[in-house]
């Protein structure tokens, strides 16, 4: 039976062929790709427009750390030739416009239900279908249930006592109001100095009457060196796009940058520092690519030289030596936490009289509570009109687990992942047939340039679904053995890297009560792609297929 016949046979048995949750980079491409294959798809999106991460994160200074020419889709030649990025790193409004442009160009909106939150999904093993429920009480059945909600989309806000008493306004950066917030003349407090906090602080320092930063852990922010993209530069990118994408796909992080040396192990400290000096001027993730990033994250001695190099650079930017010491990370090696970028002279922001830093680590003055007037630490009270939580996300698993997902035999995803996620390839988890996760836990995802990882997953899933139809399969899920092996391999790779030397959201350490386990696949996008291709080429080795009596295709 042809793919189209199989598809037609199924019409009417379920409301749609696939339900996709989320209309960001992942959901939009998944919708397009499946529609191209003749499937009927419904996308549910909580926001009132497309964009995902770039719809929600509208805080001042929001910008992407991947360079714009590779922070986009590669699959459509017309789109990539027609769209033109204005700066080296794209700002949130520009990325949002890009995704709106793509949605319009591919006529995607007609299959997206906006302002619709998916609350539950239950697998019917007899029919090999999912019943998906929304907060409005709508119930939609589908053969495939596809999570495309992004890895950093479930905001985390620490539960400080007393927030209800606060007489000012408070915001989470990931839910920043569209109309903005007028911070002029206000005493603003911001909790958090991750990628988001650093962008927010350097953008708003000087705008508020006073900005107080509550920092628990400092970070290594390397200068991004943003600038407008010149016309001739852009022409060159366009002319060489195929080669650029090829290099990016064939790299660990999904970025097309060359290394000066693969390894620094045989270089003297002076030679390493010379290389770093040049890379410091190039800025952004090109700094991390001075050497192969996997090498930087496995060789403790080399990493120590790099970390110290950055510390010296950071100290030199801050006038007050005491403040400088607070801003310089010594608790973890560079790269063990996601390294932020500095777009706006972040460290020099602290040289301003209207910006102050409060160390709320255990060695400083931890936050005790929010009061009517501001924040009280163990050392005193800070008066605030506006309190900003730049406190991150329940990463990688939070958005999936926010949905009440029930698989085969009544097993819930929350139960199955209680001690950490268990997946095969980060694409599927046993006991939840026909549930795919785009950039799911234990795939390279957040360790890479996301659009590239997203495209790879979308294409793999779409090909897998086509294969199922060609072969008359109703259901797919990983075998127990393949899943166990994948979890073990992922953990083993992470254990051999420096990631364990930091408390980080990579491991879920930022969420009280969450099991600490390294969640992304750290072996690199290049290796991962090869594994996925081999699995697919080998008739989906490690997966098992099922034919189900009540399924629309039974007996075909
Ligand atoms: P994050 O990296 O998790 O940072 C959260 C911050 O809040 C940390 O400084 C954390 O301190 C602090 N915090 C959390 N709970 C706290 C508490 N109870 N008391 C005091 N401080 C507390 O979150 P994020 O900055 O939103 O970034 C998350 C990820 O999103 C990034 O790593 C990146 O992958 C992505 N992102 C990317 C960009 C970009 O591309 N430009 C921009 C923003 C975000 P500790 O470190 O001590 O936990």
pLDDT digits (tens, 9 = 90+) for 442-501: 999 999 999 999 999 999 999 999 999 999 999 999 999 999 999 999 999 999 999 999
- When pLDDT is cut at 50, 70 and 90, the band that residue 549 belongs to is low
CB distance 275 to ligand 1 below 6 Å: no
The verdict on the CB of residue 391 being under 6 Å from ligand 1 is yes
Taking the C-alpha atoms of residue 202 and residue 329, their distance in angstroms, rounded to an integer, is 18
Report whether 481 contacts 472 (CB < 8 A): no
445 lines ligand 1 (CB under 6 A): no
- Cβ proximity of 397 and 417 under 8 Å: yes
First to last CA, the chain: 8
Strand (E) or helix (H) holding 401 = helix 398-401
CA of 58 to the centre of ligand 1 (A): 15
192: Cβ contacts below 8 Å, ≥ 6 apart = 173, 214, 215, 216, 389, 390, 391, 392
551 pLDDT band, cuts 50/70/90, is low
Q: Is the CB of 461 under 6 A from ligand 1?
A: no
The DSSP line for 163-228 is: GGG--SEEEEGGG--TT----TT-EEEEE--SHHHHHHHHHHTTTSSEEEEEESS----EE----B
The single-letter DSSP state of residue 527 is H
Ligand 1 in contact with 392 (CB < 6 A)?
yes
Are the CB atoms for 432 and 426 separated by under 8 Å? no
Taking every pair of C-alpha atoms in the chain, what is the biggest distance, in angstroms? 76
- Give the pair of three-digit tokens for residue 546: 């099922």
Confidence of residue 556 (pLDDT cuts 50, 70, 90): very low
Domains of the chain: 3-50+108-154+395-546 (3.50.50.60)
pLDDT at 6: 41
Q: How far is the CA of 97 from the centre of ligand 1 (A)?
A: 25
511's CB contacts (< 8 A; 6+ apart) are: 156, 394, 398, 505
Residue nearest (by alpha carbon) to ligand 1 atom 28: 392
Would you place residue 548 in the very low, low, confident or very high pLDDT band (cuts 50, 70, 90)? confident
Pocket lining: 360 vs ligand 1, CB cutoff 6 Å: yes
Structure-token match 């496995």, residue found: 298
Contact 52, 153 (CB under 8 A): yes
CA 171 to ligand 1 center in whole angstroms: 15
Predicted local confidence at residue 203, as pLDDT: 96
Q: Smallest Cα–Cα separation from 178: which of 119, 111, 96?
A: 96
pLDDT at site 1: 32
Rounded to 5 degrees, what are φ and ψ at 249?
A: -65, -30
CA angle (404, 407, 412) in 5-degree steps: 45
CA atoms within 13 A on the CB side of 385: 11
Backbone angles phi, psi at 336, to 5 degrees: -70, -30
* pLDDT tens per residue, range 123-143: 999 999 999 999 999 999 999
**Average pLDDT score over the chain:** 95
**pLDDT at residue 379 above 60?**
yes
Contact 317, 323 (CB under 8 A): no
Q: What is the pLDDT of residue 234?
A: 86
Ligand 1 proximity of 329 Cβ (cutoff 6 Å): no
Distance (Å, rounded) from C-alpha 275 to C-alpha 351? 29
Sequence-distant contacts of 510-516: CB under 8 A, at least 24 apart:
510/156, 510/391, 510/392, 510/395, 511/156, 511/394, 511/398, 512/159, 514/394, 515/418, 515/419, 515/420
- SS3 category, 435: strand
pLDDT band at 14 (very low <50, low <70, confident <90, very high): confident
Give residues with Cβ within 8 angstroms of 374, minimum separation 6. 166, 168, 187, 189, 381, 382, 383, 384, 387
CA distance 303 to 419: 31
Provide CB contacts within 8 A for 497, sequence distance 6+. 294, 297, 298, 522
What does each C-alpha distance from 322 to 172, 192, 318, 319 come to in angstroms? 29, 19, 9, 9
pLDDT band (50, 70, 90) for residue 366: very high
Tell me which of 232 and 214 has the higher pLDDT: 214
Residue with tokens 């090696």: 333
Q: pLDDT band at residue 5, thresholds of 50, 70 and 90?
A: very low
Helices (H), 471-548: 480-495, 525-537
Of 87, 392, 511, the one to substitute when testing ligand 1's pocket (max ligand atoms within 8 A of C-beta) is 392
Question: What is the best residue among 391, 453, 503, 520 to mutate for testing ligand 1's pocket, by most ligand atoms within 8 Å of CB?
Answer: 391
Could you give the C-alpha distances from 133 to 33, 290, 428, in angstroms and in order?
A: 24, 48, 20
Per residue in 290-306, pLDDT tens? 999 999 999 999 999 99
If pLDDT is split at 50, 70 and 90, which confidence band does 431 have? very high
The two tokens of residue 259 are: 């290394």
Q: What is the CA radius of gyration of the chain?
A: 24
| pLDDT at residue 492, rounded to an integer | 97
CB environment 223-234: b (16+ within 10 A), e (fewer):
bbbbeebeeeeb
């Amino acid at each position: 039976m042809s793919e189209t016949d199989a598809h037609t046979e199924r019409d009417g048995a379920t409301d749609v062929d696939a339900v996709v949750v989320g209309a960001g980079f992942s959901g939009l491409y998944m919708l397009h790709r499946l529609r191209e294959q003749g499937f009927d798809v419904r996308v549910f999106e909580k926001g009132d427009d497309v964009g995902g991460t770039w719809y929600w994160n509208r805080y001042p200074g929001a910008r992407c750390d991947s360079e714009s020419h590779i922070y986009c889709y590669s699959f459509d030649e017309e789109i990539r030739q027609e769209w033109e990025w204005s700066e080296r790193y794209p700002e949130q409004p520009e990325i949002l416009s890009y995704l709106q442009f793509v949605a319009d160009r591919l006529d995607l909106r007609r299959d997206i239900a906006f302002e619709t939150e998916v609350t539950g999904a239950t697998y019917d093993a007899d029919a090999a279908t999912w019943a998906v429920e929304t907060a409005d009480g709508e119930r939609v059945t589908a053969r495939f249930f596809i999570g495309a909600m992004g890895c950093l989309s479930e905001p985390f806000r620490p539960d400080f006592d007393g927030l209800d008493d606060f007489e000012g306004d408070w915001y989470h950066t990931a839910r920043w109001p569209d109309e903005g917030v007028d911070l002029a003349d206000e005493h603003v407090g911001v909790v958090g100095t991750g990628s988001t906090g650093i962008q927010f602080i350097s953008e708003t320092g000087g705008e508020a009457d006073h900005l107080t930063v509550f920092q628990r852990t400092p970070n290594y922010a390397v200068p991004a060196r943003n600038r407008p993209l010149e016309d001739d530069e852009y022409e060159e990118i366009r002319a060489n796009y195929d080669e650029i994408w090829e290099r990016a796909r064939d790299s660990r992080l999904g970025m097309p940058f060359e290394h000066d040396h693969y390894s620094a192990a045989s270089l003297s400290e002076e030679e390493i520092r010379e290389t770093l000096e040049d890379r410091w001027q190039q800025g952004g993730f090109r700094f991390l690519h001075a050497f192969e990033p996997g090498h930087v994250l496995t060789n403790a001695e080399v990493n120590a030289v790099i970390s110290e190099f950055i510390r010296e650079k950071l100290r030199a930017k801050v006038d007050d030596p005491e403040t400088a010491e607070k801003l310089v990370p010594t608790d973890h090696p560079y790269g063990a936490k996601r390294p932020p970028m500095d777009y706006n002279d972040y460290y020099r922001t602290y040289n301003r009289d209207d910006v102050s830093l409060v160390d709320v680590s255990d060695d400083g003055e931890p936050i005790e509570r929010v009061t009517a007037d501001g924040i009280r630490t163990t050392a005193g009270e800070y008066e605030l009109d506006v309190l900003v939580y730049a406190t991150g996300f329940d990463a990688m698993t939070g958005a999936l687990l926010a949905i009440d997902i029930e698989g085969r035999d009544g097993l819930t995803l929350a139960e199955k992942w209680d001690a950490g996620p268990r997946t095969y390839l980060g694409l599927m988890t046993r006991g939840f047939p026909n549930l795919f996760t785009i950039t799911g836990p234990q795939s390279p995802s957040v360790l890479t340039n996301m659009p590239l990882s997203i495209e790879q997953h979308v294409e793999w899933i779409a090909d897998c679904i086509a294969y199922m139809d060609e072969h008359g399969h109703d259901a797919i899920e990983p075998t127990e053995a393949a899943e166990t092996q994948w979890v073990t391999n992922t953990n083993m790779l992470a254990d051999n890297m420096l990631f364990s030397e930091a408390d980080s959201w990579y491991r879920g350490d930022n969420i009280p009560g969450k099991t600490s386990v390294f969640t992304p696949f750290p072996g690199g996008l290049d290796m991962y792609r090869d594994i996925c291709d081999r699995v697919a080429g080998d008739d989906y080795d490690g997966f098992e297929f099922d034919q189900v009596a009540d399924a629309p295709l039974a007996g075909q």
